Amino acid sequence: MRSLHSKHVAIFGITASMTTTFVFVFSTLSPGNPREFHGTAEYDVIDGMTNKEGGDGSGLRWENQGLQMATVDPKKYLLPIGISGGGPGFQFKHFKIAAKFALYLNRTIVMTPFLRHRHRTREYLVPFQRTFDETRLAELLPVATQEEYTAQCGHEVAAVLAAPHLSVHEIGTFIHRYRVTRNMSATLLDVILPKELKIQSESDAIALFDSSVTTKCLAMHYPYNFKNWTFPGDSDLTLNVNRHVKRAPPIQAAIAYARQALCDGKPYLAFHWRNKTGEQCDIGNRAAWNDPRCAGAIENMRQYGGDKVAAAVYNVMRKYQISCLYISYVPYSEAIVTSFAKIVPSTRIYNALKTFQSLPDNLSPLMKDDFMLSLLEQEVCYRAEVFIGVQYSNWSEFIFDERDADGAISYHLDQLPGVPEEIVRLEYL
């Protein structure tokens, strides 16, 4: 017997292999929601700051009782479709969520390519194997190239899992996004999705669920929309995915080669600095210098500047007795280096150029490729003794997730005493 309870929206498009109660939890998404956990398993206080926070557990709860499903053959595929709606960091998030579902459903995950930032043409696709370590991922679950998937399934996808936004009022957004994704998938991936997804009611959702359980070739549209669905063993699966989606061997080889040059091989704190006064108010396409939001943001940055941010980060360095700093920043945010140089000797401040300028010929092309350089910097931040990142960045969040899985020490910038709220708000301009 099935029962699907809802008060506001239905669950859309999910397959499962289980013999127990399946409980989905939708947590309310809000820019103010703190991360659940960073760092060690105990509180770590710096003048009233903690690196562990918990949510209030609020949100809509959905229950699907007593579903009895047969074991799924590992050669049933799950094809993530997440190339629209964000840059590489957001696409990585799509993939990891899909991988978790594939692991739970005992399906083979298809290693789809990633699209470079602000591009929508095929030449800007980056193969999965150049981005992440296929061998490491295969230790966790069965994997397949897209070529293998196409050989087994063809180009047309008959069944698609899809979960719209939490609010029924955003169904229009979902429909528009699906159409954009469908066009991009055909153009970039040679994957033909169904023309429409009929998901207007609970009965539609249950029918989609029933029809896809035994489907050999299954796609997952916009996996991020499944982010807050949980099921038995969800936390363990998430940890396992975060421990097995690792950057490709050339990235790791470059870090190993450059490690002695970075802080003379000694421990370092890594700081990811991202504010959008330059990213969106200068070169971006969602705002302009004359946008009122930008005018206020630029004034806040001028008034509060990077000095208070640098001082807050330096306090963390002192707590952990770390004297060396790696700063990951985009070129239009390099003024932060000047702020740090007022309190940290310049010889102890490192960036990508200083760290990787002496890579051997076989690895040096990584520095000339923005996509690869970003992966290099993520690996540096992942390996740091302490990491500080920004809360509303998919780039930082990927590192937070990795380090949380390892029990490493990490902080959100807004957790640090002395960081003005005006600066924090610049993260999500």
Of the candidate ranges 180-184, 299-303, 325-329, 367-371, the one whose mean pLDDT is the lowest: 299-303
> 262: left (phi > 0), else alpha (psi -120 to 50), else beta?
beta
Average pLDDT of 275-285? Answer: 58
**Closest by CA position to 82, among listed 48, 44, 109:** 109
Asked if 51 and 415 touch (Cβ cutoff 8 Å), the reply is yes
- At 131 the pLDDT is 98
Using CB atoms within 10 Å of the CB of residue 29, give its burial: 0 to 12 exposed, 13 to 18 middle, 19+ buried: exposed
- Is residue 28 assigned to a domain? no
Q: Which structural domain range is residue 317 located in?
A: 249-428
Same domain, 233 and 302: no
- Is residue 16 assigned to a domain? no
pLDDT band for position 44 (50/70/90)?
A: very low
Same domain, 199 and 253: no
Percent of the chain residues topping a pLDDT of 90: 54
- Across 366-378, b (16+ Cβ under 10 Å) vs e yields bbeeebbbbbbbb
Same domain, 359 and 305: yes
Average pLDDT of 211-217? Answer: 85
- Is residue 414 assigned to a domain? yes
- Is residue 392 assigned to a domain? yes
CA atoms within 13 A on the CB side of 90: 16
Tell me the helix, strand and coil percentages in the chain, rounded to 5: 45, 15, 40
In the numeric block, which tokens belong to residue 118? 């602000």
Average pLDDT of 20-24? Answer: 26
Q: How many domains, in total, are found in the chain?
A: 2
Q: What are phi and psi of 223, to 5 degrees?
A: -55, -25
209, 244, 279 — which closes off a domain?
Answer: 244
Q: 317 or 226: which carries more pLDDT confidence? A: 317
Check whether 60 has a pLDDT greater than 50: no
Same domain, 157 and 190: yes
- Is residue 396 assigned to a domain? yes
- Across 160-189, b (16+ Cβ under 10 Å) vs e yields bbbbbbbeeeeeeebeebbeebbebbeebb
Q: Round to whole Å and give the CA distance between 51 and 136.
A: 29
In the numeric block, which tokens belong to residue 24? 């989905």
- At 37 the pLDDT is 30
- At 30 the pLDDT is 27
Q: 20 or 38: which carries more pLDDT confidence? A: 38
- Distance in Å from the first CA to the final CA of the chain: 47
Q: Which residue, chain included where needed, has tokens 């055909």?
A: 186
In the numeric block, which tokens belong to residue 235? 């936390």
In the numeric block, which tokens belong to residue 169? 């009022």
Same domain, 298 and 383: yes
- Is residue 21 assigned to a domain? no
Q: In this structure, what CATH number is given to the domain that contains residue 227?
A: 3.40.50.11340
In the numeric block, which tokens belong to residue 386? 């302490």
Average pLDDT of 67-84? Answer: 70
- At 1 the pLDDT is 26
Check whether 361 has a pLDDT greater than 50: yes
Same domain, 176 and 264: no
- Is residue 196 assigned to a domain? yes
Same domain, 376 and 268: yes
Same domain, 155 and 271: no
Average pLDDT of 349-377? Answer: 96
Average pLDDT of 215-230? Answer: 88
Asked if 222 and 26 touch (Cβ cutoff 8 Å), the reply is no
**Closest by CA position to 343, among listed 368, 303, 316, 367:** 316
pLDDT band for position 163 (50/70/90)?
A: confident
Q: 242 or 22: which carries more pLDDT confidence? A: 242
Average pLDDT of 350-367? Answer: 95
Check whether 75 has a pLDDT greater than 80: yes
Q: Can you give the pTM of this predicted structure?
A: 0.80
- At 69 the pLDDT is 35
The helix/strand/coil state of 220 is strand
Check whether 26 has a pLDDT greater than 70: no
196, 225, 244 — which closes off a domain?
Answer: 244
- At 176 the pLDDT is 84
**Closest by CA position to 275, among listed 238, 239, 315, 308:** 308
pLDDT band for position 427 (50/70/90)?
A: low
Q: In this structure, what CATH number is given to the domain that contains residue 385?
A: 3.40.50.11350
Average pLDDT of 119-145? Answer: 96
Identify the top-confidence range among 99-103, 227-231, 331-335, 424-428: 99-103
Asked if 79 and 181 touch (Cβ cutoff 8 Å), the reply is no
Asked if 410 and 384 touch (Cβ cutoff 8 Å), the reply is no
Same domain, 260 and 228: no
Check whether 289 has a pLDDT greater than 50: no
The helix/strand/coil state of 138 is helix
Average pLDDT of 320-345? Answer: 92
Same domain, 300 and 379: yes
Of the candidate ranges 120-129, 351-360, 412-421, the one whose mean pLDDT is the lowest: 412-421
244, 277, 306 — which closes off a domain?
Answer: 244
Same domain, 265 and 229: no
Task: State how far the alpha carbon of 393 is from the alpha carbons of 55, 223, 274, in Å.
Answer: 19, 18, 8
- Is residue 337 assigned to a domain? yes
Same domain, 200 and 281: no
